Structure 1
Amino acid sequence: MRDIFKGFALAISMLTTVPFFKVHDFYKGINGYAVMFYPLVGFLLGVVLWGVHTLLSPYVDSVHLGIIIFGLLVLLTGALHLDGFSDTVDGLYAPKERALEVMKDSHVGGMGMIMGVTFLILKASSLAHFELFYLLPLILMLSRLNAVLAIYFYPYISPSGMGTLAKEEFTKKQMLIAFSYSLLIVLLYNKLLLLVSALLVLFVIKSVFIKRYGGFTGDIYGFSIEVNELILFNFLLFGLI
């Protein structure tokens, strides 16, 4: 039970800037549990943002409030996944044989910066015009569920890092628990098509990166989370779901 709690605390520590559960010791036994809780952390983030939106909506213009929610999302996640997005884009614009080396560089390249800013504008605009904020917990949960499924099913190609520990310790049972509680929440929302859409996005991302690199890295997990969120927002904005 202690390892389960430590895993939950580690998941919050890794995916958010919330200061109450800071755990930085990736000791054996908790990394798989941490991955199991990723979708739940996404759901809780969404609940917080939905709550803020609900409290402020009577007093703040809807467009400006959407931008506020966007800013809070960036702050609460510490731009962690945005960093992965930018690094992944830099790798895509580098020669294949140097791509992983470029992605590991702590400095953001020109294309990573340009595409990162473009992505931020698109996401801010999406949230500025988004109306279905009660679905925000579901969208953030499904985006992180995709990372969980990628960790379990697809190769991890970085030689070291937390991703290696997560891949080694994340069990089939833990994956099934994460998928089961996520599916239950989806069914409670009656939004099965949203889950199907998220899985389709994961399939496309998998097809690109398995072909190019043979697997995933921590940066690509972050990339998949960010892209999934943006696509699901816009599927809903365009009435496709």
Structure 2
Amino acid sequence: MSSILLALQFFSVIPVNKNLPMERRSITGMYCVFPWIGAGIGAIACLMLYFEWSSLMTGFSIVFLGVVLSGGLHMDGFIDTSDAFFSYKDRLKRFEILEDPRVGAFGVMAVVFLVIGKVIIISEVLTTESFHWIFVLLIPFFSRVTLGLLFSLTNTAKTSGLAYYFKQRMNANIVIITTACHFFIGLGILGWMTNWMVTVTVAVVIFAFICLFRSWVLKNFGGVNGDLLGASVEISEVILWLTLLVLLS
């Protein structure tokens, strides 16, 4: 229960007004249950499908709820990552930009393209004949699976900050095993409710994204931090929605 409450406290907008233990077991459990926070966000977003709105309005509502329910945490990471990477500075300067609370021009442009692109892609997927509501629930789930595996398999870029604090206090092996189990559960549900071609493709895309994003992070930043992990959630969701659009069109 402490792990669930910690996950809600750190990764959602749900207020948890309680001092929770920050011990190894609780932090490990927090990352183990993290994908289900995404599933919960996706389940709430599914309610938007019952309104008789246009596909564009429904797509906007799904994106809006995803940002609001996560407290904008991952979107903020995407903005900071964009500012840092497109500055084309050295690694030290990039970290200064990541830690700067101000938003630069590159961050603004990147988030505008991200949000508009995500809304359009989702609205297009909604109009396909093979659309299934389970996509809305599982994509936030898979994006958190991606974050959990990336964080467990990659060293932190700095020996300070919240990501380093959590990394030092969690059992990475348990998180990897548990998150991998969640991943296969999600794939099983997806295959059962849609078809196995979609499921296999989604699995390959997620695996490829983890490998490529991890390589990119190590090359440009030397490891992960909170902002980079948040960016991985936003980018992986767009890629998964785009994958569905290509498959279902």
Query: What is the TM-score with the length of structure 1 in the denominator?
Result: 0.89
Q: For 1:1-241, what aligned pairs fall within 5 Å after superposition? A: 5-19=1-15, 21-22=16-17, 25=20, 27-29=22-24, 30-50=26-46, 52-56=47-51, 59-94=52-87, 95-96=89-90, 97-131=92-126, 132=131, 133-171=133-171, 172-190=173-191, 191-239=199-247
Distance in 1 between the 2:107 and 2:5 partners? Answer: 31
Paired AA for residue 208 in structure 1: W
User: Are the equivalent residues in 2 in contact too, given 1:39–1:141 (CA < 8 A)?
Assistant: yes
Q: CA RMSD in A?
A: 1.9
Provide the identity percentage.
Answer: 23
Deviation, 1:173, is 2.0
The gaps in structure 1 that reach 5 residues or longer are none
Paired AA for residue 127 in structure 1: I
- SS at the partner of 1:17? coil
User: Are the equivalent residues in 2 in contact too, given 1:87–1:108 (CA < 8 A)?
Assistant: yes
User: Are the equivalent residues in 1 in contact too, given 2:82–2:106 (CA < 8 A)?
Assistant: yes
Alpha carbons of structure 1 residues 177 and 185: separation in structure 2 relative to 1, 3 Å: same
Distance in 2 between the 1:34 and 1:236 partners? Answer: 29
User: Are the equivalent residues in 1 in contact too, given 2:4–2:29 (CA < 8 A)?
Assistant: yes
Distance in 2 between the 1:24 and 1:178 partners? Answer: 26
- SS at the partner of 2:125? coil
Alpha carbons of structure 1 residues 44 and 113: separation in structure 2 relative to 1, 3 Å: same
User: Are the equivalent residues in 2 in contact too, given 1:35–1:166 (CA < 8 A)?
Assistant: no
Paired AA for residue 185 in structure 1: G
Paired AA for residue 174 in structure 2: K
Which runs of structure 1 show a deviation greater than 6 angstroms over 4 or more consecutive aligned residues?
Answer: none
Q: How many residues align?
A: 233
Distance in 2 between the 1:193 and 1:36 partners? Answer: 24
Deviation, 1:25, is 4.9
Paired AA for residue 179 in structure 2: A
Paired AA for residue 222 in structure 1: G
Query: What is the TM-score with the length of structure 2 in the denominator?
Result: 0.87
Q: Say which is worse superposed, 129-138 or 101-110, in terms of deviation.
A: 129-138
